[in-house]
Amino acid sequence: MNKRLLFIVLCFFLSVSIQAQEGTNINHLAQYQYDTDRLSIEFCQNRRTALRNLMAENSVAVIGSNPIRNRANDVDFQYHPYPNFYYLTSFKEPNAVLILFQSPITYKGSLITELLLLQSRDPKSEVWDGRRLGVTHVDTFLGIDHAEAITDFQFKEISWTNFDQVFYEKNNLLIDENRKVNEDLNQFKRGFIDVLKKRKVKSNGDQLTKSLAILREVKLDEEMTFLQKAIDITCKAQIELMKSLKAGMAEYQSEAILEYVFKVEGAEYPGFPSIQGGGENSCILHYTTNRKVLNNEHLLVSDVGAEYRGYTADVTRTLPVDGVFSEEEKEIYNLVLKAQNAGIRAALAGNSFGATNQAATEVIADGLVKLGIITNRKQVRTYFMHGTSHYLGLDVHDLGTFGPLKSGNVITVEPGIYIAAGSDCDPKWWDIGVRIEDDILITDGEPINLSKVAPRTVKEIEEMMKLESKF
């Protein structure tokens, strides 16, 4: 039997099998049992209800999944769901759209408050790209009360002009990826744009993002379980790097150690490209080339985060490659640590979002003047040129309102000092870049350092670097 005939026969039997599975056999849903600690149906139902409560009366919200992104030629990047869509559904497949109605509407004879549009099952595609949930089991596995194939959806079935507001996100639904693998989603987008323009629907492309920021900036207990897991994995990786780091190692090898631990501990991805900047690269804030070979005179800024069930950590440690900080490195490191401790103390509910940055900046400004690196405090941004905090969650720079800090916020506190070669100061300070970053939970009392298990004082780091590594 030739390969083409064999493939046709295989597809025939798969088609028969899949049709049966849409009925009573749900073996194709085994993938939903691989990881038992997924975002729960109840969590997502709660979040959809919370979003409806923020929506104006007689309104509708439309949230699309991410498209498949092309890497090169016929190779795509590993798929990652759109965080807002995932937050409301826990669904990770592409070519899907969630429509939420603020109050029930009649749709094809049924009274509904939500509609999930998704890909139908397809035996040929599933052979190549993996199993799909399909329409039949959406209620069981996602708890969404009505679903249909995205290719079956017709905009005329909903009276869009009857809504007082149609909420959407511009960067989510107004970009046509124009690729065959995204055609189902693109077809929906084109229809949606047509509805907005030709039918003169009252629409709002900003309020949905603002509403989701209000929800996502306060973490619920279930989210904290996943976020703490991501942070714990990241701290384990940083500790393993401390034990393993040595001269002659390339930046990419340090990256490999960290990301090996991520995978071994169950993280799906790094939450962002790993930053492993040694020597002069320690002074580049978002350096990701990671090709330099390290020597004993270098500091290594290691800024990484594991992603677990969609939630990402963000923990930075700065390490001496030879295991011992020089006197100059120690001066700068301890100044950054002092600034970070001041920032963490300022991470109190009711304080402004910028309070951590203000506290850290004051310490660094005074310290740099004292060391003679700057002559007046106004020059502090020459060597500390970024903010101190951002929200953390489903995105490494997570959604939030940037209003006063609230109990349940998770933020980073990450001051740094970066003195590039050629700077207007004593050359003994050149190529010293230090950043220390921890993930902080805002509470009704004192802030909690969720990543404190990873050593961060000079003494703790030097002691950890003396221990034996598995690598």
* Catalytic residue ranges: 74, 286, 303, 314, 386, 390, 397, 414, 418, 435, 437
CB count within 10 Å of CB 62 equals 24
The pairing of beta strand 448-449 with beta strand 438-441: antiparallel
CA-wise closest residue to 81 among 68, 98, 65: 65
341 residue type, one letter: N
Give dist(CA 230, CA 214) in Å, integer.
Answer: 23
Give dist(CA 108, CA 113) in Å, integer.
Answer: 13
384, two tokens: 């500390």
**φ, ψ at 112 (rounded to 5°):** -135, 155
CA-wise closest residue to 283 among 460, 457, 429: 429
> Helix %, strand %, coil % for the chain, to 5?
40, 20, 40
143, two tokens: 């708890």
Q: Collapsing DSSP states into helix, strand and coil, what is residue 471? A: coil
CB count within 10 Å of CB 221 equals 8
CB count within 10 Å of CB 337 equals 18
Give dist(CA 197, CA 164) in Å, integer.
Answer: 15
CB count within 10 Å of CB 453 equals 15
Asked if 335 and 380 count as a contact pair (C-beta separation under 8 A), the reply is no
Q: Give, to the nearest 10 degrees, the angle between helix 221-244 and helix 251-264.
A: 140
Give dist(CA 240, CA 262) in Å, integer.
Answer: 11
Q: Collapsing DSSP states into helix, strand and coil, what is residue 268? A: coil
Distances (CA, A) of 109 to 112, 380, 454: 9, 65, 57
Give dist(CA 85, CA 53) in Å, integer.
Answer: 17
DSSP letters, 378-422, are GGGGGT--S-S--B-SSSSS-----SS--TT-EEEE--EEEE-TT
CA-wise closest residue to 309 among 131, 96, 137, 86: 86
